[in-house]
Structure 1
C-alpha cells in the first residue's frame, strides 16, 4: 500500500489492488472511497449507474447553498436553463426562468409561458395561461385561457384535453371546455355506442367490495351561502345539448324493480320522462300534453287524497284551475270563483 500523509497523519491510501481511500485507511472495496463530504464545482459525468447505498437513511439530494439563494434541479436531457427555482425531470421539458416554482416531470412538457406554481406530470402537456396554481397530470393536455383574472387552480387529469376558459377543469380524455366555470368529468365518444363514461356512481358505488354492504344514501346539494342572509345556489338538472336540428334528449327518472331473492343487482326501469323539446312530463315515453299520466288501470292514474268544501263561490282559497272534492260535489276554481257539479250514485 501507498500512504500519503500530512502532519504525519495518513490522508489518502492507495491499496495494492488499485483502490483508493481518502480520509480513511480502510479498503472498503471501491475504486474511490471518500470519508466525509465532497465538493464539485463543475459537471460530474457518470457513465453507468449512480447508486445510493445506506441502510438507515433515504436518498437525499440537499441544497448546500450557504447564501440562502434558491436553486433549481434538472435531471435528464434537453431541459433548458436552471433559472426559476423549479424542478425538471425527464427530457425536452421547458420552463420560464423568470417564474418561480415551476415543476415539469416527464417528456416534452412546456411551461415556457406558464405562471409560477405550475406543475406538469406526464408528456407533451402545455400551460400558457398567466394565472397561478395550474397543474396537469397526463398526456397531450393544454391549459390556455386569457389570464389576468382571479382564476386559479385550474387542472387537467387525463389525455388530450383543453381548458380554454377560466374557473374550469377537466378529468377524463378528449375534452375541451366551452364556457367559464365548467368541471368536466368525461371520456370522448367518437359517434359510437362504446365511448364515454355512461354511468356515474357516488356514495358507496354500484356494488361495494365490503361484504354485505348496504348502498349509502346520497344527497345532491347545490352551493350554500356564506355570511349573513346570503342565498344558496339553485339546483338544475339538465339533459345534454344537441346541435342543429337533432332531437333534444329527455331527462329520465328510473328506479329498480324487485326480483327473486339473491345477490344479483336489480334492473332499472324508466319511470318518468321530461321530454326534450316540449318539456312534457309523463310516465310514458310518448306524451301528448304537458302532464300526461298513464296507468294499467284507469282508477289509479291521478289521486287527490285530501277533500275540501268551498264555503261559497266567493271562497278566497285556491287559485284559478284548482280542483277540489267532497262527498257531494266536484269543484273547480274559475276566474269568477268556485263552481261545482253534483255527484250521484249509479
Structure 2
C-alpha cells in the first residue's frame, strides 16, 4: 500500500512524535509498504513562538496539494494539528477523501502553559480538527477515555514500542557521577514540568539529557544539576543504562517513549500518577507513581533492573506498526 503521512513534526526535530513516525515508517517499509512523509522541511518555515527549535510551514496549501496529487497515495494519515495538518485536512475534505489523524500531544494543555487561552477553547479547536477523521489514533486507554469524555469520536488505539537492542542494560561506569543518579531525558521546556524534579533535595546526582527553550534559564537556576545536552543513538542509550532511576515529571504527555527506553535499559521509573505513566508503568512493578515525586524516586531505587527490562520486552514496534496499518482508511 502507498501510505502518505503529513506531519508538522519531522526531522530535523527530535521528539517523541518524530521518533514514533520514523520508527513505524521503517517497520511498515519492512512489511512491504511504501511510506512517504511530508513535513515542514519541504517548505519555507518560521519558528514557533516561545519554541524556535520547532518550525511551522508557511503557505503550504497549494504546494502540499500538488505533492499529494503527484504521490497518488492509497491513504492519508495526518499526524499533527499544525499548519500542514490543517492544509492536508482541507485537501482531503475538498476532494472527499477519507483520512486518519493522531492525538500525540495534549495540545490544549501545551497552549495553556504558554498563553492565557482557556482549555475549553483549545479543546474546541482540536475537536473540530479531528471530527472528520475516520480514526483518531491514541496511544493509551487514559487518553482515549479523556478524549471520549470531551466529545471526541472514532477513537482507535495505536500503541508504542521500544528498540530493546539499542536500549538495554549496560555498564554503569559510563557516568562518573555521585550515586544514585536520577536521570531525565526529553525536551527542556515548560510543558515538561521539569522544575518539579530539579528543585527536589535528593542524594547523589541529577542528570538532564536534552535541550529546549527553557534550558538556559534552568541551567542558570540549578547549577548543581548535570546538563548533558541532546544525545542520540548509542550515546543516549549509554546515558540511560548508567542511571539508577528515571524521573518523568511531565503531567501532559500522552505516552512518553522515554519511559519504555528507560525500562528497557533496566532503569526503574518515578513519575506522577497521570495519563502516560499510569498506562505504561502502573501495576507493572517497574516503577513508582506518586504525587510525592521524591518519595516515588526513593522507592523506585529498590526495584531490580531485571524487572524493568522484562516488562519492557512486552512492547514491540512491529505491533505498533500493525495497529497503525489496521486503523488506516484506504480511498477505495
Sort the TM-score into its range (normalised by shorter chain). under 0.3
More strand by share: 1
Bigger CA radius of gyration: 1
Q: Normalised by the size of structure 2, how large is the TM-score?
A: 0.20
RCO higher in 1 or 2 (8 Å CA, sep ≥ 6)? 2
